[in-house]
Amino acid sequence: MEFRGIKLYIVIIVTLLIVGLFFAARYLLAIYRIDKPLRNELASLEGIKEIEILENKKGTELQVSFLPGIDFYELYQEIEGIMENVKGEKNTDIIIINDSDNELREIYYQVHFALYEGISTGRFLEMKKNIDDILRREELDGYLVRVDRQAVYLQLDKDNHSFYYRIPYNDIGIKEGG
């Protein structure tokens, strides 16, 4: 089939080839300029057990499993810094995968009310005292509660197992400067 001396099937084939090459190049560029360097930098961090990078409609999702007994807050900050440097965005979803036993999950359940109350009221010293009171009765090897401008970080350690949790303020509705 021809239109003004141009064979249409050739135009269609060439167009499909160009579009296919465009998407293939984009895919390869993402792998070699973003995914591979990101995996290499994250793998170089001590304390990470397993990493999985997933792309979805909202953007990048990073699923991370940590080794027990690390400094969760510091390592999380390093991961966010790497994500910002490599991907150019800080708002990548970082999903924490906990391999901990049910006992640490139950202990988290006991303190999560104090955590969310402290975040919603902004009374972090009172939150820390409430958490200290609750956890004093537990036989933990250690625990840490850290607060920064964006989230509260909880780390529970017991018998070579750890439970890590991050609660961002945006999920609760806290606004800065108010």
What are the tens digits of pLDDT across the range 57-93?
777 788 899 999 899 999 999 998 888 877 666 557 8
Q: Please give the distance of CA 127 from its chain centroid, rounded to a whole number.
A: 24
Percentage of residues in the chain having pLDDT higher than 70: 88
pLDDT given at position 129: 96
Q: Which residue has the higher pLDDT, 19 or 38?
A: 19
Domain boundary among 49, 70, 97: 97
Positive or negative CA dihedral for 158, 170, 56, 21?
Answer: negative
| Distance in Å from the first CA to the final CA of the chain | 69
Q: What is the mean pLDDT of residues 133-152?
A: 92
Q: How far apart are CA 34 and CA 174, in angstroms?
A: 33
Asked if residue 177 is part of any domain, the answer here is no
pLDDT given at position 172: 53
Domain boundary among 78, 97, 116: 97
Expressed as residue numbers, the domain containing 108 is 102-171
Asked if residue 178 is part of any domain, the answer here is no
Asked if residue 148 is part of any domain, the answer here is yes
pLDDT given at position 143: 94
pLDDT given at position 33: 66
Q: How confident is the model at residue 175 (pLDDT cuts 50, 70, 90)?
A: very low
- pLDDT tens, residue by residue, 31-50: 666 677 778 888 888 999 98
Percentage of residues in the chain having pLDDT higher than 90: 46
Asked if residue 75 is part of any domain, the answer here is yes
Distant-in-sequence, close-in-space partners of 141: CB < 8 Å, separation ≥ 6? 157, 158, 159
Q: How confident is the model at residue 153 (pLDDT cuts 50, 70, 90)?
A: very high
Tell how strand 48-56 and strand 2-3 pair up: unpaired
Q: What's the burial of 146, exposed, middle or buried (CB within 10 Å: 0-12/13-18/19+)?
A: middle
Q: How far apart are CA 128 and CA 145, in angstroms?
A: 7
Q: How confident is the model at residue 176 (pLDDT cuts 50, 70, 90)?
A: very low
pTM of the model: 0.75
What total number of domains does the chain contain?
Answer: 2
pLDDT given at position 68: 92
pLDDT given at position 10: 85
Domain boundary among 43, 70, 97: 97
Which token pair is 59? Answer: 């953007």
Q: Directed axis angle between helix 124-136 and helix 102-121, to 10°?
A: 160
Compute how many other C-beta atoms are within 10 angstroms of the C-beta atom of residue 174: 14
Tell how strand 48-56 and strand 6-7 pair up: unpaired
Q: Which residue has the higher pLDDT, 8 or 59?
A: 8
